[in-house]
Structure 1
Amino acid sequence: MLTRRWFGACFLCAGVGGFLASEAAAQGGPSSAVRRKLIKKSETGMGNLVTLLMEVEVPAGVEVPRHTHPGIESAFVLEGEAELYVQGQDNQTMRPGTGFQVPAEVPHGVRKVEKPLRLAITYVVDKDKPLVTLAPG
């Protein structure tokens, strides 16, 4: 049975529905605990790459399971506190004013969301691939 927490995290990772790196990736369902908002989409002029600037809000207590992106993720923490884990790197505590980058196709996730988390995230990704894919493990 899916819990509300898992459903929200699953939605953030877009594991259900195969979202592509487009406006559809920013849309949230009415029962989703995680809010994603597309701020700006720009074609890069380099093949199929697109740049997406998003605001993402994760409520306290919601965990984002291991997932990957088909390009680079660069984020800046606006509010909140949580732990980021990235395969091959030390875990880091995300706090306001800190930032991080995750290379393409590297599994990562968020846990220990002690305070509601608000991030400004820029993705440079292949627009023809799902923005997010759940990673095993």
Structure 2
Amino acid sequence: MTTGDASAAPQGPPQDALAGRLKRTELQHEHSSVPGRDIVQVLTEIPAGVESGWHTHPGEEVGYILAGHVEMKIAGREPLLLNAGDHFLMPPGTPHNALDLGPETGMMLSTYFVDPERALASFVAAP
């Protein structure tokens, strides 16, 4: 098991598209017992008023809001208003965009069950 800061965590292949927009710390990255899938856990900090941009993941995202107020826009659905203590599940390949509503920095813990050969996040056009 890998724990600690991002520099101690293994670096997955291709770069994550969100790395330039948000502060993201990879907490752990391990092979799953399911062939072709890795489990990646990430702490994401979104400053007030900042959005992630529309993106997808190559597998499920199980998320939990640790702090702040986040509007989660999901393609084909009504936006979710998430507060500290709320959780969400994002299906594979589903375009979504997180906006921190402030006033404080939003923090979310996300666990991804993903294809290790693909980038953890990829930008897509807004639906």
Interval containing the TM-score (normalised by the shorter chain): 0.7 to 0.9
Instruction: Give 5+ residue unaligned stretches, structure 1.
Output: 1-20
Q: Supply the RMSD in Å over aligned alpha carbons.
A: 2.2
- Matched with 1:58 is 46
Cα–Cα, structure 1 residues 23 and 39, in superposed 2: closer, same or farther, change >3 Å? farther
Deviation at 1:48, TM superposition (A): 1.7
Which of 14, 33, 40 is equivalent to 2:28?
A: 40
Aligned-partner Cα distance in 1 for 2:60–2:114: 7
Q: Aligned residues: percent identity? A: 24
Aligned-partner Cα distance in 2 for 1:112–1:22: 27
User: Could you state the TM-score of these two structures normalised by the residue count of structure 1?
Assistant: 0.74
Q: 1:92-131 maps to which residues of 2 (within 5 A)? A: 92-114=80-102, 115-131=104-120
Deviation at 1:33, TM superposition (A): 5.5
- Matched with 1:22 is 12
Deviations 1:20-57 (A, max 9, x none): x828757x97xx56211111112112222000011110
Instruction: Give 5+ residue unaligned stretches, structure 2.
Output: 1-10
Cα–Cα, structure 1 residues 112 and 80, in superposed 2: closer, same or farther, change >3 Å? closer
For the pair 1:80 / 2:68, whether they are aligned, the reply is yes
Alignment size in residue pairs: 114
Aligned-partner Cα distance in 2 for 1:72–1:136: 20
